[in-house]
Chains A and B, each alone.
Chain A
């Protein structure tokens, strides 16, 4: 699919050069001569990438980049800042800076394409792709992992390992470079770091780099409004690839079935816009009929149970549904949670024996 690139450049010669080169590569290039026009086009046209020259008249390129980042309508667009050699010292560098990368003048066509192409990878290229959970066995059963842009329901009783599974998935996603947000009724930032460390999952670096944002929820006082407020909070995390809710049932004790259904429908809409939402529920926190409707709304459904196998209690995970999964679903995995190790899949014969 052709990518849309917005070029904000005041020098017509440079504009023409960049436009021609990028159009030859089958991209659609729209142009603006100054910052304010550029900002308007970025909002209207929703390009995949904005290229902006540092030395624009009126509004400077760095200010344009910053505004693009601050506006929720444009904050997901990749930014490539074009700068002269002698403007180098005025740049901001590193993750957290407004620009994703820099193109230094003078540059060749090859330089241009090498800088632009990595910034164009994303979103619809990911359609049909799956996010690894960090656990090979689990990935296989889910047909490659959690499908991107999907709504996943993780369901189970207390102590069945829902949070552990979610944490395993979060770690897998982070290690694969995805940014995510967690809304948690179970953990504070500190207890999450500690709990995940006990599973041998280190997220401290990711936290410091802002790749994972943790929002502890205290929803008991919100009462009936809780689903709507939670949804608003999730929507404000639009730039994130994934959102985890652990757990929904303890966040919405007083909500009606309609409110819960509305919440799921809105999640579904977010997923259609490329977000991946993973919701954890206690099996007994919701009515049976409601659960059945929710399961059918979701793209993937994972059922966790604690089962009595002979004289031993074993945690099992059943993948009952995965949209577009290549492998057969309906598979059951048995696993143990070992401190200092994490989730460990137990071979079936060992469980039975």
Chain B
């Protein structure tokens, strides 16, 4: 097996993609990027990464749909997906904020994501999660 794991980062927020890319490259991973759901899906099919870091809220095609399609394509069904979700924005009610997050996660797991991180992400957390997920996948 190729010793270098390949990771695809899909997010419409360019600063986020840039930092994650730098961070993962520094850790020795092979990184490719996409800036919306459609492009992400294409890159996933073309590059066959070992892990996809996938943002939930994106124009054109959101993270749920990308994940659902990946899992329904035998070529990409085995790729682990780590989802990024934004912190609940309903600030005038804590109850709703929590509910929104929980709902996001449940739906994410339903479509096949294996893990979640809530934005803003601590870069350290991301590095650790990535390592753990890849280790679980045999790296």
Contact = CB atoms under 8 A, between A and B. Distances in A.
Interface string A90-107: 111111111111101000
A348 B92 CA distance: 43
Interface stretch (B12-20, B32-40, B65-73, B108-116): B12-20
B28 interface: no
B127 A94 contact: no
A209 B15 contact: no
B83 to A, nearest CB: 13
Interface string B64-101: 00000000000000000000111111111100100010
B128 to A, nearest CB: 9
A213 interface: yes
B120 A213 contact: no
Interface residues of B, number: 32
Contacts, number: 91
Contact of A210 (B18, B19, B91): B91
A63 interface: no
B124 interface: yes
The 7 closest A-B pairs by CB, nearest first: A210-B89, A94-B119, A97-B120, A101-B15, A92-B120, A96-B120, A89-B123
A189 interface: yes
A151 B100 CA distance: 33
A215 interface: yes
A86 B22 CA distance: 10
A98 B121 CA distance: 11
A43 B15 CA distance: 26
Interface of B: 13, 15-16, 18-20, 22-23, 26, 57, 62, 84-93, 96, 100, 104, 119-124, 126-127
15 contacts: A88-B23, A89-B127, A91-B123, A93-B119, A93-B121, A93-B123, A96-B119, A97-B120, A101-B15, A189-B93, A205-B62, A208-B88, A208-B100, A211-B89, A216-B92
Q: Find the residue from A91, A94, A98, A100 having the highest chain B CB count within 10 A.
A: A94
Interface of A: 85-86, 88-102, 104, 189, 205-216
Contacts of A101: 15
A28 B124 CA distance: 35
Given A91-B123, A93-B16, A93-B120, A104 B22 contact: yes
A88 B123 contact: yes
A306 B62 CA distance: 39
